[in-house]
Amino acid sequence: MAQSAIKITRDQREAIYQAVRTHLVGLSDVFTLLERQDDVPGAERLARDFADDFRLLEDLGWHEDGSSGQVELTMPHPKLSALMKRIREETEGGFHDAIRERDSVAPVEGLVATMRACDAVLVYTDAKQVAA
Amino acid sequence: MALERTKNFAAVERMGKEFAEDFRLLEDIGWSEYEARETYVLTMPEPELRKLLWRLRDEAAQVLIEHGDEAESRRRDAETNRRFQIGHQTCEKVSGNLDSPRRE
């Protein structure tokens, strides 16, 4: 059955985009692990995460400015749900680190915005999965 | 990463798509250097696979040409050259099979 796309606001898009961008900093870890060949399953797992990031960026747009209006997320809902949970979990880790290290307010606010944006998408994806 | 360095979003998008294709191909050919299988089934859609193989072939050729300019570098990187040579030949062969009208 065809699924409907989930629409997010510009602010939600910005919050998720920044989290994806932060995650992409670790892309070289895939190549490091592949070169060493001592944790190939780890390399594979990481690469799948990055492949999900790339797919999400197809919807979010690759440019930091993005579009002016709403953004449609077109990934299959189970995959989108898993991705949002991963981003939320990573962001929550960063949030706790920021609180512990008494980081400035701005990054913490950004992290909270990301967690809320992920939650907003999850409400929709997970409700759909339960209904199905 | 190019994104943080240059803010060249178009280049980053192209690189991201290429990495996604690479990762997708590795799903079929395996992630380990030491694969024991005799044959591999490539399950990517044919146009996507063809494009990817041509890109890998061109990238390998580029490396081989660059190395060809410097004999000392070639001797030092003999193993790297060998790998790129095999990669170049394999991409050529597989993409040739895709292009063949007799392919089933």
pLDDT tens digits, one per residue of A47-71: 999 999 999 999 999 998 877 789 9
In this complex, do B9 and A62 lie within 8 Å of one another by their Cβ atoms? yes
| Residue B18, pLDDT score | 95
Average confidence (pLDDT) over A120-129: 86
Instruction: Name the residue facing A63 among B4, B9, B24 (closest C-beta).
Output: B9
| Residue-level pLDDT at A54 | 96
Smallest CA-to-CA distance from A30 within A41, A18, A46 is with A46
Averaged pLDDT for residues A108-124:
96
For A43-54, give one letter per residue: b (16+ CB within 10 A) or e: bbebbebbbbbb
Residue A47: which of B4, B23, B33 has the nearest Cβ? B23
**Chain B partners within 8 Å of A37 (Cβ):** 32-34
pLDDT higher than 80, residue A105: no
Rounded to an integer, the average pLDDT of A79-88 is 97
Low-confidence residues in chain B, pLDDT < 50 = 102-104
pLDDT at A51: 96
pLDDT at B104: 41
pLDDT at B76: 61
User: What pTM value is reported for the model?
Assistant: 0.82
Residues of chain B contacting A57 with CB distance shorter than 8 Å: 13, 16
Cα–Cα distance for residue pair A67/A64, rounded to 1 Å: 9
Over chain A, what is the mean pLDDT?
90
**With 90 as the cut, is the pLDDT of residue A117 above it?**
yes
Mutation target among A54, A60, A79, A83 for the B interface, most CBs of B within 10 A: A54
CB A51 to CB B3 under 8 A? no
The A residues from 82 to 111 touching B (CB cutoff 8 Å) are none
User: What are the CB-based long-range contacts (under 8 Å, 24+) for A108-111?
Assistant: A110/A15, A110/A18
